[in-house]
Amino acid sequence: MSKNSVFSGQPIFGQIVSLMDKAKVDTPANSHGRDRYCKRFDTFEHLITMLYGVVSGATPNYALA
C-alpha cells in the first residue's frame, strides 16, 4: 500500500497567517517605535511565532529552567 506523498493545498497554519494583514500589525508597532532596534525579528514575526506555539499546543518545559 503506497502513500501519496504529494501535498495538495495549503497547511492550516498557512491559511491562518494569510488572513492576517501585516500592515495592521506594523502600523501600531511603528507608531510606538517597537521595532526601532530590531534587525531581524520584528513584531509581525514575533506574532507569527507566538501564534504557532498556541496552534501547535506547545507547553513550557520548566524543568530546563
Q: Provide the pLDDT for residue 48.
A: 92
If we measure between CA atoms, which residue out of 23, 7, 14, 10 comes closest to residue 52? 14
Residue type, position 49, single letter: T
Does residue 38 surpass a pLDDT of 70?
Answer: yes
Does residue 1 surpass a pLDDT of 70?
Answer: no
If we measure between CA atoms, which residue out of 46, 40, 39, 52 comes closest to residue 11? 52
Q: Provide the pLDDT for residue 2.
A: 61
> What DSSP string runs through the chain?
--------S--HHHHHHHHS-HHHHHHHHHHTTTTSS-SS--HHHHHHHHHHHHHHT----GGG-
> Across the chain, what does the average pLDDT equal?
81
Q: Provide the pLDDT for residue 4.
A: 61
